Structure 1
Amino acid sequence: MSSPKRSIHVVAGVITDARGRVLLNRRTEHSDLAGLWEFPGGKREPGETSEQALARELHEELGIEADIGEWLMDVPQCYPDKDLVLEVRHVRSWKGTPRGREGQAITWVAPDKLGRYSMPPADLPVVAALREPDRYLITPAPLEDDIDNERWHEQLWRAVDAGHQRIQLRFPADHPQRAQLCESAVRRHRGVSQWLVNRDIELARHLGTGVHLGAEQLTALRERPLPAEQPVAASCHDLQQLQAAQSLGCDFVVLGPVQRTASHPDAAPMGWERFAALRAQVALPIYALGGLGVQDITTARRHGAQGIAAIRGLWPTD
């Protein structure tokens, strides 16, 4: 009979220097996941608060006296031998000079270079949370009475002005102006760092944007459909689809519905516990989807999400 898996709570710190670089630890030769880079920290012992645990671990690992700051996110993650929750906290300030007191290598990394370092699965969503938006706007199609699409473009302007940096252009497949609207949005609304076109890989190639794949496309594709500089995302509803998205090399996914939605009233919501259980099975940044808004971002991050994805919850209203 196999022994039951351990359940452990680990607290890690995001330590940033005056140049904005982030400190990483390299796991030593005789530890689990040896050689991988991670955010420094360690296991929370019984009777400790998260702040106490992280301060103790940073002193033991790095020789610094740390002032623990605000919470960033929790990442549930399943490993072969344990179920882990990685709680991530910012380090407000510290005294001393960080050094590898346990024989480990350490390095300071610019945020845009973090993706180059091989990390344990639980640390990968943290990198995304540090570098990428906590909300993913999905556009509705223009209303039928918006004949010239100006109202839609004006709302999109307002969304961009509000700071949305990751936007999916989503239209019905049979929309007569689908390609035209996507192209005009990308050309007219500058300042957005990531555009993604819903499902249409060829249009994404033509526009130089990313693509957001439908769940049904995940099983049909055998390789990532776009180069690394063009993001690939996907809609997922179960573990099989999440695993397919990970195998395909998707940069992030949306998972839901978490709550009941007006657009899909017959879809049974999975709830936050099921969301977290699915999140723990893969090493992907995941946006929670379904009946959510900005007010749900903290809850989403408590369950391991990058943030929330939404149409109604993020699209400007008249």
Structure 2
Amino acid sequence: MKRKLIHVAAAAIKNSAGEILIARRSEDQHQGGLWEFPGGKVEQGESALAALSRELHEELGIEVKEARPLIKVPYHYTDKSVLLDVFEVSAFDGEAWGKEGQPIRWVAKGELDSFAFPAANAPILNACLLPKCIAITPDLSDVDALVDFVEQALSNGAEGVMLRAHYLPVYDFEGAYKRIKGMLEGTAIPLIVNSSLEVAETLKADALHLSSSRLLDLNKRSQFSGRWLSASCHSLEQIEMAVTKDLDFVSLSPVLKTRSHPHAIPLGWELFQQMVDSCSIPVYALGGVSHRLLEQAVNCGAQGVAGISAWSQDLEE
């Protein structure tokens, strides 16, 4: 029996304080009592953005002024399939209130994890929490040089750091991790380790990024005890594997030609967008991209961009 497809537009609405608006489903609804991101069904002949604007006016009494794509989440129930077309709303007119009697709350990003959401909302939650620009450390064999790179990347606007240092002995890798973690203490900037599962567990890391070969070797999500588990992907098959194994996000590369892998065939933006559209978890553009291409990546459905070389120079040049 063919499932009925329901197209839903939803919003991660941000206020000037950076808080995100969530609403609670009524008890008589499917998955009642859980919190969700506001929105509603897309009607026949209506664009997702038009539907979102209409729903937010009807439900919350606000007029959308600025919105951009955040993530598309296909989700399958036993009797129906839902496509959640999610936008990030960064500007609106009016003061939001529950026009239909639904409780609403403005919540700091760091507190979103403490609310219960429907399972289909998990990728949206992750997309709200993850940074837009991740700096990946180059393969340096000196801990001081790694720390210097991270300091420069942060000063140039990096919102996340991935420690990738395959040439370092394990002892030095652990030392670099502790020093960088100390630098980031008191901030919301995540530190992601690109390493084996064993090293990440030893460090009690909060975030682990697996190579595509390590993704293949991963048996189940619960092998990692941290908050974030991600992987490098280069094909649709690897993306599907990451989704099946319940990872939180992936990087997809190479988008463009790179100096580090001159013989690798780039995906190009068109194929990249097609692959992102088929993925139900956040995707970072990697390979030949920098923060200057963030808007293009986001318009292709990406969570953001990740890279190495762009952060080793002044991005304001």
**Could you tell me which amino acid in structure 1 is paired with residue 216 of structure 2?**
T
TM norm structure 1 = 0.76
Residue matched to 2:291: 294
For residues 169 and 178 of structure 1, do their structure 2 counterparts lie closer, same or farther at Cα, with a shift above 3 Å needed?
farther
Q: Give the alignment partner of residue 131 of structure 1, picking from 111, 129, 145.
A: 129
**CA–CA distance in structure 2, aligned partners of residues 270 and 55 of structure 1:** 33
Q: 1:55 to 1:211 in 2, by over 3 A?
A: closer
Partner in structure 1 of residue 244 of structure 2: 247
TM-score, normalised relative to structure 2: 0.77
2:301 to 288, 293, 304: 304
Letter in 2 for 1:217: R
Name the residue aligned to 1:259.
256
**Offset at residue 310 of structure 1 (A):** 0.6
User: Deviations 1:69-101 (Å, cap 9, x if unpaired)?
Assistant: 322424344466676643332343424732326
Q: How many residues align?
A: 301
Aligned residue in 2 for 1:188: 179
Q: Any conservation in 1 of the 2:58–2:99 contact (CA below 8 Å)?
A: no
The one-letter code matched in structure 2 to 1:137 is A
Q: In the superposition, relative to structure 1, how do residues 141 and 13 fare at CA in structure 2: closer, same or farther (>3 Å)?
A: closer
Between the aligned partners of 1:261 and 1:142, the Cα distance in structure 2 is 18
SS at match of 2:311: coil
Q: 1:160 aligns with which of 154, 158, 166?
A: 154
- Greater shift, 83-92 or 152-161, is seen at 83-92
The farther-off stretch of 268-277 and 232-241 is 268-277
Task: Kindly indicate which of the two structures has a greater share of residues assigned to helix.
Answer: 2
1:58 matched to which residue of 2?
56
- Write the deviation string for residues 106-136 of structure 1: whole angstroms up to 9, x where unpaired: 4426233434433474x54443343221111
Please give the root-mean-square deviation of Cα atoms over the aligned residues, in Å.
3.6
Aligned-residue sequence identity (percent) comes to: 28
Alignment of 1:17-32 (within 5 A): 20=19, 22-24=21-23, 26=25
- Amino acid across the alignment from 2:89: R
Residue by residue over 1:214-268, the C-alpha shift from the partner in whole angstroms, topping out at 9 and shown as x without a partner, is 1112222212332134x32211112222222223332221112111212122222
Q: Is the 8 A contact 2:24 2:33 kept in 1?
A: no
For 1:59 and 1:98, the matched residues in 2 are separated by 11
Taking the aligned partners of 1:160 and 1:181, their CA distance within structure 2 comes to 22
2:197 corresponds in structure 1 to 201
Question: Matched residues in 2 for 1:85 and 1:49: separation?
Answer: 7
Match of 1:67 in 2: 63
Alignment check: 8 A CA contact 2:14 2:91 kept: yes
What residue ranges of structure 1 are gaps of 5+ in the alignment? none
Q: Contact between 1:256 and 1:289, CA under 8 Å: does it hold in 2?
A: yes
